[in-house]
Amino acid sequence: MTRHRQLLDALFPLVADLTRALPEQERYARLLQALQQLLPADAIALLRLEGDALVPQATLGLSADTLGRRFVVEAHPRLRVLLAAPGAMRFPPDSPLPDPYDGLVDHPAPHLDVHDCMGCALRLERTTWGLLTVDALDAGRFAAEHLEVLEAFAQLAAATVTAAARIEALTRSVQQERTRADALLASGVPRTLLGQSGVMQALREEIALVAASDLTVLITGETGVGKELVAQSVHAASPRAARPLVTVNCAALPETLVESELFGHVRGAFSGAVGDRRGKFEMADGGTLFLDEIGELPLGIQAKLLRVLQGGQLQRVGSDREHRVDVRLLTATNRDLPAEVRAGRFRADLYHRLSVYPLRVPPLRERDQDILLLAGGFLEENRRRMGLRGLRLTAGARAALGRHAWPGNVRELEHQLSRATLKAMQRQATATAAGQRIVSIGDEDLDLATPGADLGIATATPAPEVTTAITLREATDAFQRQLLDRTLRRHGGKLAAAAAELGVDRANLARLLRRLGMR
Ligand SMILES: Nc1ncnc2c1ncn2[C@@H]1O[C@H](COP(=O)(O)OP(=O)(O)OP(=O)(O)O)[C@@H](O)[C@H]1O
């Protein structure tokens, strides 16, 4: 086949794509496949400039976790130089600037540094959209002719991504006309919530949809699956994004403090209340209040919360005055709230009020294909934190992560990778400066024998969170019992004196003692 014919064959489908409404990911993947036909590359990537970082949108020949990474431009001089260059440029093999993909190019032999590297910024009018990068593992693979091909191709690529943006904008405006909620769906949510699996894409769409409204959202899911991140995403995509997001962990506060924490108090409301204090509801006025672990809220406070939700008015503890607040409420729990309602531990009316829009965050075992993506995100953070030049997973480690029966917990994956990073760094300790080191995490650095072994719980069961939540509650109760016992002993069993020392009022202390079964 002649060179020209080859060029045309690669480019024709892209020209046809310009007017087609393709999913963004597919459009980008087709772009890279076309470029692969034209250049003798080992790895190609399309990166989009988002704030201070370049975020991979599609890659070929790079390890799967690359897609989850964010390359902060300041930390990667080659990318910075490419962004500033007027056209395509090629780095000589002895360039002192480290290649961002060192150690990330898919190859059976680890640690293979990139030796020939070209790149070109994609510009639309005067705005830089991102970069195309092309790498080879041996020096001298590319020639001057390849640089020209890349520069010409980059112009078509820029047109393609513009087409994607235009088609997307068009779709968005059509949707905007349908409903306001649909419009929000199109505007997307913060990218911090990683995941490309079907369930995560569906969750993101739901987040965008509900964020537009002022509906109360109940976020459910097992421990550590990302419920708080979902709450942050809802707030960030909502019209209240510029106003505060105030978070309260209901499990972390003793019953006596929850009320004043939520609604505030006035001076003298209880011993220790030396001044007026705003509660979290008032702090969140105009914004969003996120009540985490709502299943732990004591029944007495549930009634007060319900009153605020019904009337939009709250009273500080010890005050008759009513304050009107404009707060959008998000709540989360890892408990089975309907079961709590049946057991009489949670008010049915409050449950219905809170679960106007339920969002379920799926456990990791329902989104296997996100594991490497999440791993990439966490590894990039670890790499930055440790000041390493590269931090990669060996093929064995990738396979082990993929094989592992992840129970549900993203936090567990995050901690696994932090531990593995330290182990790999220790195992491969060299005299090389951190900024020059590429560390490979092998399967021997991952501690994947027993899922959840470090938590001491049977995380492979479908509802591990119940065990964890009860343990936390029990631990809080045990701590409170010990504290009250000691204080009461010190005051010869006198309630009023003990209450004064603890900074709570006498009636509250009596209630707490009753709840804890202490006489
Ligand atoms: N989709 C995701 N993308 C990136 N990071 C995630 C994702 N999901 C969870 N994480 C990370 O995992 C950790 C646990 O997430 P988070 O605290 O939101 O979970 P949770 O369900 O609220 O936990 P808990 O039940 O303990 O309150 C956090 O460090 C969070 O950043």
The amino acid occupying position 213 is: S
Residue among 411, 470, 473 to mutate when testing ligand 1 (max atoms within 8 A of CB): 411
In this prediction, residues 317-322 reach a mean pLDDT of 82
Q: Decide: 91 and 78 in contact? Cβ < 8 Å.
A: yes
Q: Separation of 330 CA from ligand 1 center, angstroms?
A: 16
Highest mean pLDDT of the ranges 261-275, 299-313, 484-498: 299-313
The enclosing H or E element of 277 equals strand 277-278
Return contacts of 391-394, CB within 8 angstroms, 24+ apart: 391/103, 391/421, 391/424, 391/438, 391/439, 391/441, 392/63, 392/65, 392/103, 392/104, 392/110, 392/438, 392/439, 392/440, 392/441, 393/63, 393/65, 393/440, 393/441, 394/110, 394/440, 394/441, 394/442, 394/443
Residue among 193, 199, 207, 228 to mutate when testing ligand 1 (max atoms within 8 A of CB): 228
Q: How confident is the model at residue 110 (pLDDT cuts 50, 70, 90)?
A: low
Q: Separation of 226 CA from ligand 1 center, angstroms?
A: 3
Residue among 70, 225, 235 to mutate when testing ligand 1 (max atoms within 8 A of CB): 225
Q: Return the structure tokens found at 274.
A: 């030396």
Instruction: Report which protein residue has its CA nearest ligand 1's atom 18.
Output: 226
Cβ of 464 closer than 6 Å to ligand 1, yes or no, is no
Q: Which tens digits make up the pLDDT trace of 366-420? A: 998 899 999 999 998 888 888 888 899 999 999 999 888 887 789 889 888 999 9
pLDDT above 50: residue 459: no
User: Can you tell me the distance from the alpha carbon of 231 to that of 236, in angstroms, rounded to the nearest whole number?
Assistant: 9
Q: How confident is the model at residue 455 (pLDDT cuts 50, 70, 90)?
A: very low
pLDDT above 80: residue 208: yes
User: Can you tell me the distance from the alpha carbon of 224 to that of 447, in angstroms, rounded to the nearest whole number?
Assistant: 18
Q: Which atom of ligand 1 is nearest to the CA of 231?
A: 18
Instruction: Report which protein residue has its CA nearest ligand 1's atom 7.
Output: 226
> Which range among 132-136, 277-281, 437-441, 445-449 shows the weakest confidence by mean pLDDT?
445-449
Domains and CATH numbers, the chain: 3-174 (3.30.450.40), 189-362 (3.40.50.300), 368-455 (1.10.8.60), 464-515 (1.10.10)
Give me the pLDDT at residue 458, please: 35
Q: Separation of 103 CA from ligand 1 center, angstroms?
A: 28
CA atoms within 13 A on the CB side of 442: 9
The amino acid occupying position 14 is: L
CA distances (Å), 106 to each of 57, 109, 394, 414, in order? 17, 9, 9, 23
Q: Separation of 373 CA from ligand 1 center, angstroms?
A: 14
User: Can you tell me the distance from the alpha carbon of 507 to that of 491, in angstroms, rounded to the nearest whole number?
Assistant: 17
Beta pairing, strands 264-265 & 277-278: antiparallel
Burial 126-141 (b: 16+ CB within 10 A, else e): eeebbbbbbbbbeeeb
Q: Which atom of ligand 1 is nearest to the CA of 249?
A: 27
Instruction: Report which protein residue has its CA nearest ligand 1's atom 16.
Output: 226
User: Can you tell me the distance from the alpha carbon of 79 to that of 25, in angstroms, rounded to the nearest whole number?
Assistant: 22
Cβ of 408 closer than 6 Å to ligand 1, yes or no, is no
The mean of the pLDDT values for the chain is 82
User: Can you tell me the distance from the alpha carbon of 394 to that of 111, in angstroms, rounded to the nearest whole number?
Assistant: 10
Q: Which tens digits make up the pLDDT trace of 246-302? A: 999 988 877 778 888 899 888 877 767 777 888 899 999 999 999 999 999 988 889
Q: Which tens digits make up the pLDDT trace of 114-162? A: 788 999 999 877 788 999 999 988 888 899 889 998 998 898 888 877 7
pLDDT above 70: residue 197: yes
Give me the pLDDT at residue 20, please: 63
Q: Separation of 233 CA from ligand 1 center, angstroms?
A: 12
Q: Separation of 374 CA from ligand 1 center, angstroms?
A: 11
Q: Which atom of ligand 1 is nearest to the CA of 334?
A: 25
pLDDT above 50: residue 185: no
Give me the pLDDT at residue 314, please: 84
* 124 CA to centre of own chain: 30
Short-list 359, 335, 365, 340, CA closest to 461: 365
